[in-house]
Amino acid sequence: MTERIPESRSIGVLLLAVILPLAFSACSSDTDEAVFFTGSSLVEKWDVRRFFPTKVTYNAGLSGAGIDYVESQGKQFKGENVVLIIGGNDVVSVDDTEAYVERYLRMLQNMEAKRIYLYSILPRLAFESDGYEKVRLLNKKIREGVTERLDNVVYIDVFDLFLEGGRLNEQYFYDGTHLNEWGYALISGELKKVLL
Amino acid sequence: MRRNGMTRVVALAAVSVVASCLYAQVGVGLRDNQYVHIGYTWKEQWNVTLEHSVFSQKFSTQYVRFLLSYKQQWGNWNIKAIPYYGTSYNGDFYNLGMAVDVHWRLLDGWGLTGVVNPHYDSALDYLTCFTAGTDIHLYKGITFLVQYSTVPEYRMKEERCKLGLRFAYGNLSVTPMLSVPTDGEGKHIRLLCSFDFSF
């Protein structure tokens, strides 16, 4: 069903559609800064563009990465906003907790990022053998170090969100280590609280 | 300088209201899972559409886009020009551009599509995006679609290959598509669903 519309009215609408956007497009916001995601496979497999559709995002996550990967990125993110999940692949091989945490904090400092949104090391099935004692200790020391020494780090503690009754809540994982859709929705939700 | 995003939204809504006074046909739908839209078509060639995001995040960060389109047919060629302007409510960013969509019906039931989309984003500056694809009619209202596209599904430009089916029945069409990344950063396959209904 159609009806005849005077040509002048159509042209009027067209002009409005062209003029209004141009009038509003003179400047952009200071708060619209790019966000760089880096870290282990938990980051690499994270579809950040879908979970943060209004942000300018770049994903530099790498499967199997430990803190040596982030150290190797050097000052690539200097002055930028960075989201970081790292450490899960190092936990088993860490013997000297103090030395590891010191290295971890130095890594954060050396990034010289404007702001770092740092997730706690996430639990995984492989860490259950000691009741998550070791990874809890690392998270505690990293958190204390960050609070005392680094002003530019926002610590996002999600560790206990992935446990139920002290065991891994497998509804958030597809293999006991890597997150599924629900797991990513959970960590994305926590980040949105501080990022958006 | 931060702009008042609400002012923009009110202005866009005003344009939509003006346009709605001229309506001949109304259409509603969903694009890529996360954008709902309502549009008005008149004189069969002109259309205005208001698109709104349904992201699972704060309302102030939702995105609204206003599109105008004009289409013209010459023989087996269909050409559509679609200028658009979009912004987030909080005014963090805006984008604008124009998609020029050309469809060539080669044979009965087989067509080629090409889209050139100059696109400007307040943070990413100017981008040239495009889509190239083909559609093959399979059976009754079912059409097979394959596309290669750099047009942003969200905000960032990505290179993706899409394939899917369009199911059309009366005034309703539903288009589920699998979107597979082909560029370096993309490792994320997406299942996108779109639908349109006109009345």
Nearest to B64 by CA among A18, A191, A195, A21: A21
User: What would the two tokens of residue A175 be?
Assistant: 């293999």
> What residues of chain B lie within 8 A of the CB of A41, using their CB?
none
> What residues of chain A lie within 8 A of the CB of B190, using their CB?
47, 50
CATH number at residue A74: 3.40.50.1110
Find residues 33-52 of chain A whose CB sits inside 8 Å of chain B: 33-34, 44-45, 47, 49-50
pLDDT 10s per residue in chain A (196 long)?
A: 344 444 555 545 455 554 554 444 444 455 788 999 999 999 999 999 999 999 999 999 999 999 999 999 989 999 999 999 999 999 988 989 999 999 999 999 999 999 999 999 999 999 988 888 999 999 999 999 999 999 999 999 999 999 999 899 999 999 999 999 999 999 999 999 998 7
Give the CATH superfamily of B5-198: monomeric porin ompg (2.40.160.40)
Q: Taking CB atoms and an 8 Å limit, are A29 and B190 in contact across chains?
A: no
0.90 surpassed by complex ipTM: no
Q: Taking CB atoms and an 8 Å limit, are B61 and A196 in contact across chains?
A: yes
Q: Is residue A29 part of a domain?
A: no
Mean pLDDT of chain B: 89
Question: Would you state the torsion angle of the CA atoms of residues A42, A47, A49, A52, taken in this order, to the nearest 10 degrees?
Answer: -70
Q: Is residue A175 part of a domain?
A: yes
Q: Is residue A3 part of a domain?
A: no
> What residues of chain B lie within 8 A of the CB of A12, using their CB?
18
What range defines the domain where residue A170 resides? 34-195
Q: Is residue A18 part of a domain?
A: no
Residue A196 pLDDT: 72
Number of compact structural domains in chain A: 1
Catalogue the long-range contacts made by B138-146 (C-beta closer than 8 Å, 24 or more residues apart). B138/B165, B141/B167, B141/B168, B141/B169, B141/B173, B142/B166, B142/B167, B142/B168, B143/B168, B145/B175, B145/B177
Residues A104 and A121: beta-carbon distance below 8 Å: no
Q: Is residue A26 part of a domain?
A: no
Residue B13 pLDDT: 61
Q: Is residue A165 part of a domain?
A: yes
Q: What is the spatial distance between Cα A159 and Cα A119, in angstroms, rounded to a whole number?
A: 9
Q: Is residue A70 part of a domain?
A: yes
Residue B199 pLDDT: 85
> pLDDT: is B108 or B83 the higher one?
B83
Q: Is residue A5 part of a domain?
A: no
The torsion angles phi and psi of A149, rounded to 5 degrees, stand at: -115, -15
